[in-house]
Amino acid sequence: MYCDCSFVENLFNEIKFQTESGIHTARLKDGFIELDFPINLATPLSPVEQADIQPLLEVCTAIAGADSIVAVRLSQELRYLLVHLSDGVDLANLEVDPNRLLAAGPQTINLNGVILTVRGGPSHGTESGSSYDFCTRFFSPWRAIPEDPVCGSAHTVLAPYWTEVLGKAVNRGECGSFRNAKSTA
């Protein structure tokens, strides 16, 4: 969903959007647009899920390099696979073929998307240096979206994950796609 609108001299302080997951509100706050997204937790895979997702993880390893996967989690609510890649991976410059992801997709898990993510920093796919806690790219070939350049729903999974990993409540993220969006969770 996309909305091209402006908050003009406080005439519009709040806008409501009807989405697949319900109504979400956008508010103007301190010069930024604040969105009220839900939190979607991602949990470690069960042995059965791990076996089902293994071909897809092998594609991720082929794309990012040997020993590049730090952690794998699954959001049951959204059916997003979160793949945390090692600090040495240049996420923004990875050549990801969504068709390879699609072909390696799981047989029993009805997957909607794959979130590739790395810790933020100048050598880890972010242009802005260490002011960003994480960088991410989102792919959803199962829903006919090769790469979503700014996937808000992916950040509902990323925010709680990186909060746990980094041990802090506020996370700044950067989408490493061609639109290079920023978010604060």
**Tens of pLDDT along 73-103?**
999 999 999 999 998 898 888 999 999 999 9
* Burial bucket for residue 16 (CB in 10 Å: 0-12, 13-18, 19+): exposed
Alpha carbon 63 to its chain's center: 17
Calculate the dihedral angle through the C-alpha atoms of 143, 44, 120, 115, rounding to the nearest 10 degrees. Answer: -10
Per-residue pLDDT for 127 more than 60?
no
Statement: the pTM of the whole predicted model exceeds 0.95: no
Cα angle, residue 74 at apex, residues 108 and 128 outer, rounded to 5°: 135
pLDDT tens profile 2-17: 444 444 444 567 888 7
Of 44 and 172, the structure prediction assigns the larger pLDDT to: 44
Strand order in the sheet with 22-29: 14-19, 22-29, 32-35
Residue 53 near residue 109, CB atoms below 8 Å = yes
DSSP character at residue 93: G
